[in-house]
Chain A
């Protein structure tokens, strides 16, 4: 059932102005469907302010046991390429890339590429799917840690986002997305309750088993979720300190130490650097022989640290406030003392 929406008519993207296209993307409320959920229109307009621009279609599937991006590229490669060209037109991008680890897609895509478009194969390791790593591999440019890639003119969009862009420009709203449910990838309506998608006696995770989270109460499928999986960590064994999580981490985060810290159920501010470095790729969860969901512990520690930082900043502010007040009162006392002395001296003169 779809209601006719006169304002959502198809747009001929090859003739329309970039402003019209951008307006449509904003109107369709498209968000990054790779998981982050950042509003795509904002990301595009932010990148647009920093030309020259390069667009990257991210078809890397780094979540374990997830095939949503691969199946999308098999079924709708043309729409994805259209979405890429629309975004490239908005930005007047100098070059666009499609990266995937699916060799068949590369063969098909190579036949229908323009001059300033490249399709690249990358090994599906954990770090190859991340935004900054992709930019570095494809263009050699290193985005500094404290900058958005948009500030350097790079735009990385998930293939599903580009598909949604193409659909929105064609006048079709996004009502469903590809979700891998227990090794099987299919189209599922957005806003379906997650518990009804995977009927399982085991607890489930929204997302893949490594990076997903436990379902919240009455949680529904959002556009950013690419899998519903069974939770492997319910049968976790104790940690045997093998260090395989440390070895697996593409960012050299001391995962095992973070796990030991997290088990104390306290914040640990010394770990903040390591926690910031972690980008939740889930490599440690895949590597753990005891099926411990290390990412859950890392996230819990991060949350406790956030609360602790908040507490410290509030305490610091309160301290500053109290100090300022004491200073003020002290200066008031000094001022009244000086005044009194002056007055007394004057009175003395009169006598």
Chain B
């Protein structure tokens, strides 16, 4: 009997734990944003599972549980105000264009959930704006369009919460708790989420003194607890298929994701930049870790 320092997990078991770790975030999201969150997540999951089953023409491929996780992540990325066909389109395109065309599980270059989300984000941008009567514009939108003058006024804006964006900071906290659960189980390597968080916090810290009377970039705490920071750091950037497994590539990958997201938040067109940061980092992955690509020599 040999001992291993890592608890024994099956791929299916990993996905079950990921779903469990996502549940607090889902619960907090439903608490603040309304019960429609559940409907969006449900539609996403069902569409993803159905697409996988139809695409591979078997239910055997479903037993790894990755389709469920992909669907769940898409559902959590989308705002609850979205029309119900949007999660459907996102999930179908995520599984079909993000995963199956590459040859199924383990062969995809891009994170499937982010492929689906990016597609609907570009195709139907108006659908994806958080526009329920509860919050009005989100803090990230406020940051982008700068209706205020100084950092202090920004913090006092109604879209801002205690440290991050109103409501979203609690969702981020819940995702942080779920993510730490995965890190403690050693399903998720600790270095990758840490690099992502540092990747967004360090540029924010560098840009913090640069604000003047007319423009502010937001504090590191704000960026850590706004938008999809924690969800991305712990659940999306750590997708084993599309993230590196060696230490140094993990640091580079994570820092790249975090800082690109920061720059898109502050200078780009989109409110939150994580989706494009992830897709861009995925494209660089074969350079970071050449072993994951079977080169024909």
| Residues of A near any B CB (own CB < 8 A) | 61-67, 70, 101, 123-126, 129, 237-244, 246-248, 254, 256-257, 260-261, 263-264, 281-283, 286-287, 289-291
Residues of B within 8 A of A (CB): 1-4, 6, 8-14, 63-64, 66, 104-107, 240-241, 244-246, 291-294, 296
Contacts of A261 in B (CB 8 A): 294
Residue of B nearest to A242 (CB): B240
Question: How many cross-chain pairs have Cβ atoms below 8 Å apart between A and B?
Answer: 89
Check if A289 sits within 8 Å of B106, measured CB to CB.
no
Q: Known: A238-B104, A257-B291. Contact between A283 and B240, CB under 8 A? A: no
Task: Given A240-B105, A256-B245, decide whether A286 and B294 contact each other with a Cβ distance below 8 A.
Answer: no
- The listed residue (B1, B9, B13, B294) touching A263 by CB distance below 8 A is B294
**Cβ–Cβ contact A286 & B106, under 8 A:** no
Chain B residue at minimal CB-CB distance from A266: B297
**B291 to A: closest C-beta gap in Å:** 4
- In whole angstroms, how far apart are the Cα atoms of A291 and B11 in the complex? 8
The CA of A117 and the CA of B105, in the complex, are separated in Å by: 54
* Chain A: minimal CB distance from B57 (Å): 16
- Closest residue to B105 on the A side, CB-wise? A238
Alpha-carbon distance A286/B245, docked complex (angstroms) = 18
| Chain A, residue nearest B292 (CB) | A241
Contact with B245, one of A66, A124, A243 (Cβ below 8 angstroms): A243
With A240-B105, A241-B292, A264-B296 already in contact, 10 other A-B pairs whose C-beta atoms are closer than 8 Å:
A101-B1, A126-B4, A240-B11, A243-B240, A246-B245, A260-B292, A260-B293, A286-B2, A287-B4, A289-B13
List the A side residues contacting B12 at CB < 8 Å.
Answer: 237
| In the complex, the 7 A-B pairs of residues with the closest C-beta atoms, listed nearest first | A243-B245, A242-B240, A257-B291, A238-B106, A62-B2, A289-B11, A238-B105
Tell me the bound Cα distance from A244 to B9 in angstroms. 10
Name the one of A124, A237, A254 contacting B11, with C-beta atoms under 8 angstroms.
A237
With A and B bound together, what is the CA distance between A286 and B10 in angstroms? 10
Most buried by B among A243, A247, A257, A282: A243
Max chain A Cβ within 10 angstroms of own Cβ: one of B3, B6, B12, B241: B3
**Are B2 and A260 touching (Cβ within 8 A)?**
no
Q: Write out the residue numbers on chain A whose beta carbons fall within 8 Å of the beta carbon of B8.
A: 286
Contacts of B244 in A (CB 8 A): 243
Smallest CB separation, B106 vs chain A (Å): 4
What residue in chain B is nearest A260 (Cβ atoms)?
Answer: B294
**Cα–Cα, bound, A316→B240 (Å):** 44
- Given the interface pairs A64-B2, A264-B294, A287-B4, the reply to whether A241 lies near B106 with Cβ below 8 Å is yes
CB distance from A118 to the nearest CB of B (A): 23
Nearest residue, chain A, Cβ from B242:
A241
Chain B residues near A65 (CB-CB < 8 A): 1
Whether A244 and B6, one on each chain, are in contact in the complex, defined by CB atoms closer than 8 angstroms, is yes
User: Which of A64, A242, A256 is within 8 Å of B291, CB to CB?
Assistant: A256
Residues of B contacting A125 with CB < 8 Å? 2-4
Query: Which B residue sits closest to A248, measured CB to CB?
Result: B4
- Provide a sorted-by-A list of 20 A–B residue pairs whose CB atoms are within 8 angstroms: A64-B2, A67-B1, A125-B3, A238-B64, A238-B106, A238-B107, A241-B240, A242-B245, A244-B6, A246-B245, A247-B245, A248-B6, A256-B245, A260-B293, A263-B294, A281-B2, A287-B6, A289-B9, A289-B13, A290-B11
Instruction: Report whether B240 and A124 are in contact in the complex, using a CB–CB cutoff of 8 Å.
Output: no
Chain A residue nearest in CB terms to B250: A243
In the complex, A320 Cα to B245 Cα: how many Å? Answer: 45
Q: What chain B residues lie within 8 Å of A291 (beta carbons)?
A: 10
CA distance in complex: A290, B11 (Å): 5
User: Roughly how many angstroms separate A246 CA and B189 CA in the complex, as a whole number?
Assistant: 13
CB distance from B207 to the nearest CB of A (A): 34
- In the complex the two chains form, what is the Cα distance from A239 to B107 in whole Å? 8
**B296 cross-chain contacts in A, Cβ below 8 A:** 264
**In the bound complex, how far is the Cα of B3 from the Cα of A279, in angstroms?**
17
Q: Which residues of A contact B14 (CB under 8 A)?
A: 289
B10/A289 in contact, CB under 8 A = yes
Please measure, in the bound complex, the distance between the C-alpha atom of A287 and the C-alpha atom of B7, giving whole angstroms.
Answer: 9
Residue among B2, B4, B241 with max Cβ neighbours from chain A (10 Å): B2
Smallest distance from the beta carbon of B296 to chain A beta carbons, Å?
Answer: 8
The answer on a CB contact under 8 Å between A241 and B2 is no
Evaluate contact between B3 and A123: CB separation under 8 angstroms.
yes
* B63 / chain A contacts, CB cutoff of 8 Å: 237
Please give me the residue from chain A that is nearest to B9 by CB atom.
Answer: A289
**Closest A residue by C-beta to B243:** A241
A123 to B, closest residue via Cβ: B3
| Interchain CA distance A286-B64 in the complex, whole Å | 18
